[in-house]
Copies of this chain bind each other. A is one copy, B any other.
């Protein structure tokens, strides 16, 4: 297998942009990623386009990438439209990595774009219903402005708190850290710092989760230009190596955790272990993810939880293992299909040393975990990617 490089990255601002279409957002990400890589449109051999909700939000299905990119000059090459719920972006990235590694292509664009916000919030929330087995959709309880996923995360939170001796204040501390990081991220949806008291006092979404512990509805796009060594000759890039990108589906059961399964495969392919990881972007659709995911990634001892990383400050900027230096899904935002690519953007930015006030000093190896959908008792899809300078 050949070496794979992330040659360029771009991330539109994340937020609620009722005056911007999916196409507007995708075009901004394409222009940005080409500029960042010093590449022209005709350098690209193949495109993987990720989107999760357009079908349910606007009715645009089936050829989402062709429609979103039709004014960019990129059409005519291979375009594959991929979905894996909230892991759609990492799925596109992983297919791109595979295409480069195999020699099938020398330059591949992986792009995720989402226009999830809608004047009628019920439309936005209904889109999450597409990410579970329709036969398992709970009957609507008429509660406005909430996603069924927050009930899942709330249960995860209660279990993790009991197991780890964590409190609601710990969950709030995750959100506080996340907002603090996002304050230094120009593309973040939320750039205001918050206090533990403010997080705890915000509206309850699903007990014990309050609004500020949950990722918001939002819009945005993120793109990564992948290249082989030969592909790099077509551009003027500051590349970062991609050591591995592994996708696994859930099984419908809680065990084995697809996060753990994918992580083990990703470490093996990358030839590095958890000890090598300098920073992590993990899929914190809600705050409890920072309590549970570190153990599944092997970043803390088995039986240990993320609460230790949190309380010790290890997971903060300046700590031993910063988690979500970008602000994560909670504060940077979570435009579903864009999130997986956006995590890679942060990894590349950090590994290049270009993250400014949120820079993880000396970062050499970084990991992204992107989870998607829900099936029975676990995530429906998980992608783990490891990049290195």
Query: Chain A 1-29, CB within 8 Å of chain B: the 1/0 string?
Result: 10000000000000000000000000000
Nearest-neighbour CB distance to chain B for A260, whole angstroms, equals: 12
Q: Are A61 and B55 in contact (CB under 8 A)?
A: yes
Q: Are A252 and B70 in contact (CB under 8 A)?
A: yes
Q: Are B70 and A248 in contact (CB under 8 A)?
A: no
Other-chain contact of A133, B67, B130, B134 (Cβ < 8 Å): B67
**Chain-B contact segment, one of A83-91, A160-168, A293-301, A322-330:** A83-91
**CB-defined contacts of A127 to chain B, threshold 8 Å:** 61
Q: Are A75 and B373 in contact (CB under 8 A)?
A: no
A111 in contact (CB, < 8 A): no
Q: How many residues of A contact B (CB 8 A)?
A: 60
Q: Which A96-128 residues have C-beta < 8 A from chain B?
A: 98-99, 101-104, 127
Q: Among A59, A63, A127, A246, which residue has the most Cβ atoms of chain B within 10 A?
A: A63
Query: Chain A 36-67, CB within 8 Å of chain B: the 1/0 string?
Result: 00000000000100001101101111111111
A2 to chain B: closest residue by CB: B102
Nearest-neighbour CB distance to chain B for A298, whole angstroms, equals: 19
**CB-defined contacts of A66 to chain B, threshold 8 Å:** 133, 249-250, 252, 373, 375, 380-381
Q: Are A130 and B76 in contact (CB under 8 A)?
A: no
**CB-defined contacts of A78 to chain B, threshold 8 Å:** 246-249
Q: A62 with B131: in contact, given A55-B56, A79-B381, A247-B78 (CB under 8 Å)?
A: yes
Q: Are A75 and B372 in contact (CB under 8 A)?
A: no
A74 to chain B: closest residue by CB: B249
**CB-defined contacts of A101 to chain B, threshold 8 Å:** 102, 104
Q: Are B70 and A375 in contact (CB under 8 A)?
A: yes
Q: Are B251 and A76 in contact (CB under 8 A)?
A: yes
Q: Which A184-225 residues have C-beta < 8 A from chain B?
A: none
Q: How far is the CA of A64 from the CA of B250 in the complex (A)?
A: 13
**CB-defined contacts of A61 to chain B, threshold 8 Å:** 52-53, 55-56, 83, 127, 130-131
A288 in contact (CB, < 8 A): no
A129 in contact (CB, < 8 A): yes
A264 in contact (CB, < 8 A): no
Name A's interface SS. mixed
Other-chain contact of A77, B55, B84, B249 (Cβ < 8 Å): B249
A258 in contact (CB, < 8 A): yes
Q: Are B80 and A63 in contact (CB under 8 A)?
A: no
Q: Are A59 and B98 in contact (CB under 8 A)?
A: no
Query: Chain A 155-181, CB within 8 Å of chain B: the 1/0 string?
Result: 000000000000000000000000000
**CB-defined contacts of A55 to chain B, threshold 8 Å:** 55-56, 61, 130
Q: How far is the CA of A84 from the CA of B62 in the complex (A)?
A: 5
Other-chain contact of A63, B47, B77, B380 (Cβ < 8 Å): B380
A81 in contact (CB, < 8 A): yes
Q: How far is the CA of A28 from the CA of B318 in the complex (A)?
A: 55
A1 to chain B: closest residue by CB: B103
- 18 A-B pairs with CB atoms under 8 Å apart are A1-B104, A52-B61, A53-B61, A59-B129, A60-B130, A60-B133, A60-B134, A62-B83, A63-B133, A63-B381, A67-B133, A75-B251, A78-B248, A79-B247, A79-B381, A81-B84, A81-B91, A102-B104
A-side residues, CB < 8 A to B, are: 1, 47, 52-53, 55-56, 58-67, 70, 75-85, 88, 91, 95, 98-99, 101-104, 127, 129-134, 246-252, 256, 258, 261, 372-373, 375-376, 380-381
